[in-house]
Structure 1
Amino acid sequence: MSGSSCSRRWLVQAAAPFLAAFANLNAAAKAQPGSVPPAARQALAPTGRLRAALIVSNPVLVRRDVATGNLGGVSVELATALAEHLGMPLEPVPYANPARYAESLSREIAWDVGFAARDPARGEFVDFSPNFMEVDNVFLVPAGSRLTQLSEVDQPGVRVAVPQGSAPDLFLTRTLRNAEVVRVPGGADQAAEVLSSGRADAYGENAHLLHNVLGRIPAGARMLDGRFNVVQMAIAVPKGRDPTALEFLTQFVAQLKRDGTVARAIEAAGLRGVHVASD
């Protein structure tokens, strides 16, 4: 892949059902393909293309340009950097929401790397790189809610909505003892609908997405102070891959954090409640 332009961007074209084409995205200080151990390259991209799973309903990971449908954001930038590091073309594998991504884990996985949350339930099917990003998870409650603090959420009669199959769903399913978990498709529209309709008393999600939901529901809605969880984002690889894949990703993620690539991607996406993962 040519290195003639240091300011190029991969533009992932959204066409039926998701992507039709994609072009080059800004690549920072890419390594020469020869610097990657052959065993790692084969383990990470056995088809000769890096197939990267992307959850397109989560704006912390993927941003869709309203006018063009193009996809960008942190996971697209990091996937592009990884593909260039390996000296291979990138093949995005988009999933409409976390539930569709979770379904891909329970059968033969059709991707090589997945950019999503680390979670024990997913760990049955994949192995994880070190974390590249941390995301605050909070509760949003509608106007007039009797809930005023985190400690009041887990009680009988409280309905907590979550995106099905998401990190908040997996975490709250394990930890809530009294409240009812209401699972809905991911995305801001679904969050706004379930709160506006009264089908849920609170919505648990990342703080960035919920800031966007605030403008879609009646005035007076608010986010409860504090975080109920901090989600750790990592690069997943299907179990059974050669261990050199994870060894390489460990060094790769450390480099992206060290050289500021992750921080720049977070800033470019305008994310709130999102931080570069600590070492």
Structure 2
Amino acid sequence: MKESVTLKLFGLLGIVSVISEMMGTTIIPLGNIGKIIILPMIFAMIIAVIFTPDALGRIVPVLKNICSEKEVKASEEVIMLVLLLLGAKLGTSAGPNIIKLIESGPALVLQEFGNLGTMLIGLPIALMLGMKREAVGATVSICREPTLGLVSEIYGINSPEGLGVMGTYMVGNLFGTIFFGLLASLAANTNIHPYALAMACGMGSGSMMTAASQSLAESIPVMKEEILAYAATSNILTNVTGLYMELLIALPVANKLYKIYSKVFMKKN
């Protein structure tokens, strides 16, 4: 990766970040239902998508080279470094609230069984939509970094299962942050305990967790610190214990269900 490309990439990201922060947090009231909170992070993602070479080139051809394919390729290599910084920040949120987290008992670990819902619900839908073995990789979990590594190691990234997990991973990067940010603000108006909602924000994705927990914290400001702590710890545990949940339970069950559902939704495997 050339130094000039890296500097240009971080320069573009810096500009997008400043613009997003200037736009600030937008609150859209929904009457008795509650409110939708759109964080600067969501604006940043939207701007970043607009400024991809293909999208920008179609809108304003003369500006196509502002962000070229070189910067897009460089971002793939830079993202892991950025995730390390995010992981350090998550640790600082969990540490000061360790006593409250211990008091929650086994809930933070047992919640991993909830992640099986992604596969139980998504697998038959994927098969109905015409997917084959790609459905196993796409629905075995919410498909973040641990799942990407697991499926790549077992099946190979260019396998049907690898293509499925990569597809879900990319879609999650583009739309997951927006979706979970909005979902969390709506869930705050239910009777579900804020701690449970905070734990649900930890889905193994730093960006999705941040969007969801920040929206939830903005909706329940009196419990902001506790919400962020539970969400950060849940996210860390999901990355660790979730990997074993996927390897030992989710993936075998997904393969078993695939054999059953494929006979119903597909004429042939």
Q: TM-score range by the shorter chain?
A: under 0.3
TM-score by length of 1: 0.22
Q: Which has the higher contact order (CA 8 A, sep 6+)?
A: 1
Normalising by structure 2, what TM-score? 0.23
- Greater percentage in helix: 2
Greater strand share, structure number? 1
